[in-house]
């Protein structure tokens, strides 16, 4: 039985399918942008893929999204959709990293609904804030790109350095994962994966210390640039602590817990004992 067949704010196509708009989209070999998608709800097949340790995290996400994407713009060919999601196209431009995050969000909304329940410990006073909710349709902001057919830009950073950046896709995500990032490196690697050149010097995975040495002003500007060119999904959740009244943020985890968290709990009234 489907958990949620009536998702507010979107068009619903029968049982367990809904349409959404991607922030960037797939651009075919003729330059046509395909950013309207139809997602079906997850099944046990996709849930089991989440636990498949034979696949990298990037490949798991690609497989799940490809299986659950019924249509990508005018495209209903499953193989083309898989290549667009997984960045293995022979021609055309793939989905951006922001598209993939948006698809995970859309998949969760279609499969489980908009209400996400969570609890979070305050980093300032240690109080555990319970029974908090996030409305995924209303509270998560998705920014659209203005030029989905263009995937590289050159900009002058606040320091005067000249940077060339590219739109991140699945292949770049995989590159980051091979570097086995720790939490303290993840922001730096997110920049490195998108930075093609810095003052004419081509960037490689060995330039991580160079990226760490950039000023905060430069790094913040780079993030603004890549959010602008590839679209952005704001997954930072803001919490007002009920104990010390301090506001803090944490990033929304789009892993397995995100999909298993249900708005409705089972009660005795739901059961028919035999």
Domain annotation covers residue 91: yes
Q: Look at the chain and count its residues.
A: 274
Residue 253 has pLDDT above 90, yes or no: no
Cα–Cα distance measured from residue 184 to residue 54, given in angstroms and rounded to the nearest whole number: 26
pLDDT of residue 7: 42
Cα–Cα distance measured from residue 123 to residue 191, given in angstroms and rounded to the nearest whole number: 26
**Structurally, how many domains does the chain consist of?**
2
Domain annotation covers residue 212: yes
pTM metric for this prediction: 0.86
Specify whether 151 is located in the same domain as 60.
no
CB proximity list for 215: less than 8 A, separation 6 or greater: 158, 159
Cα–Cα distance measured from residue 175 to residue 81, given in angstroms and rounded to the nearest whole number: 21
Full DSSP string of 171-230: HHHHHHHHT---TTTHHHHHHHTTEEEETTEEP-GGGHHHHHTS-HHHHHHHHHHHHHHH
Take residue 155 and report the two structure tokens written for it: 């900009």
Specify whether 52 is located in the same domain as 91.
yes
Specify whether 157 is located in the same domain as 135.
no
Specify whether 94 is located in the same domain as 175.
no
Tell me the pLDDT tens digit for each residue of 192-235: 999 999 999 999 888 999 999 999 999 999 999 999 999 989 99
Domain annotation covers residue 267: no
Domain annotation covers residue 268: no
Specify whether 65 is located in the same domain as 169.
no
Residue 216 sits in a domain of what CATH number? Answer: 3.30.2220.20
Cα–Cα distance measured from residue 171 to residue 87, given in angstroms and rounded to the nearest whole number: 6
Domain annotation covers residue 12: no
Specify whether 155 is located in the same domain as 250.
no
Domain annotation covers residue 27: yes
Cα–Cα distance measured from residue 212 to residue 191, given in angstroms and rounded to the nearest whole number: 10
Q: Which residue has the tokens 């495209």?
A: 75
User: What would the mean pLDDT of 43-65 be, rounded to a whole number?
Assistant: 92
pLDDT of residue 12: 46
Specify whether 27 is located in the same domain as 116.
yes
Domain annotation covers residue 124: yes
Take residue 20 and report the two structure tokens written for it: 């959404």
Closest residue by Cα to residue 203 from 162, 174, 169, 170: 162
Q: Give the residue numbers spanning the domain of 196.
A: 147-230
Specify whether 42 is located in the same domain as 165.
no
Specify whether 29 is located in the same domain as 120.
yes
Give the residues across from 153 on adjacent strands: 165
User: What would the mean pLDDT of 257-273 be, rounded to a whole number?
Assistant: 79
Residue 241 has pLDDT above 60, yes or no: yes
Tell me the pLDDT tens digit for each residue of 135-188: 999 999 999 999 999 999 999 999 999 999 999 999 988 877 777 656 678 889
Take residue 111 and report the two structure tokens written for it: 């499969």
Specify whether 113 is located in the same domain as 239.
yes
Torsion from C-alpha of 197, 201, 203, 207, nearest 10 degrees: -130
Closest residue by Cα to residue 237 from 119, 124, 106: 119
pLDDT of residue 2: 35
Residue 262 has pLDDT above 70, yes or no: no
Specify whether 27 is located in the same domain as 125.
yes
Q: How crowded is the C-beta side of 224, counted as CA atoms within 13 Å?
A: 10
Degrees (nearest 5) of the Cα angle 207, 211, 213? 115
Tell me the pLDDT tens digit for each residue of 71-90: 999 999 999 999 999 999 99
Q: What percent of the chain has pLDDT over 70?
A: 91
Specify whether 63 is located in the same domain as 165.
no
Identify the three-state secondary structure at position 136: helix
Cα–Cα distance measured from residue 129 to residue 239, given in angstroms and rounded to the nearest whole number: 8
Torsion from C-alpha of 254, 257, 263, 267, nearest 10 degrees: 170
Domain annotation covers residue 171: yes
Tell me the pLDDT tens digit for each residue of 108-120: 999 988 888 889 9
């Amino acid at each position: 039985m489907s958990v949620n067949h009536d998702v507010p704010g979107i068009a619903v196509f029968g049982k367990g399918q809904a349409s959404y708009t991607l922030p960037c989209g797939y651009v075919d070999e003729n330059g046509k942008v395909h950013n309207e998608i139809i997602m079906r709800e997850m099944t046990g097949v996709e849930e089991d893929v989440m636990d498949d340790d034979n696949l990298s995290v990037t490949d798991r996400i690609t497989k799940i999204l490809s299986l659950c994407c019924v249509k990508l713009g005018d495209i209903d060919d499953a193989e083309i959709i898989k290549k667009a999601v997984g960045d293995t196209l022979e021609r055309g431009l793939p989905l951006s990293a922001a598209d993939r995050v948006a698809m995970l969000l859309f998949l969760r909304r279609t499969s489980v609904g908009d209400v996400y329940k969570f609890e979070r410990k305050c980093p300032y006073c240690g109080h555990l804030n319970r029974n908090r909710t996030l409305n995924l349709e209303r509270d998560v902001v998705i920014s659209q790109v203005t030029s989905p057919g263009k995937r590289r830009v050159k900009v002058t950073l606040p320091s005067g350095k000249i940077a060339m950046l590219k739109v991140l896709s699945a292949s770049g995500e995989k590159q980051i994962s091979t570097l086995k990032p720790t939490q303290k490196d993840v922001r730096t690697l997110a920049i490195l994966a998108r930075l093609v050149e810095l003052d004419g010097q081509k960037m490689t995975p060995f330039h991580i210390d160079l990226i760490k040495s950039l000023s905060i002003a430069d790094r913040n500007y780079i993030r603004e640039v890549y959010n602008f060119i590839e679209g952005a999904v704001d997954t930072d959740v803001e919490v007002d602590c009920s104990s010390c009244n301090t506001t803090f943020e944490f990033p929304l985890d789009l892993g397995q817990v995100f999909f298993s968290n249900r708005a409705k709990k089972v009660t005795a009234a739901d059961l028919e004992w035999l």
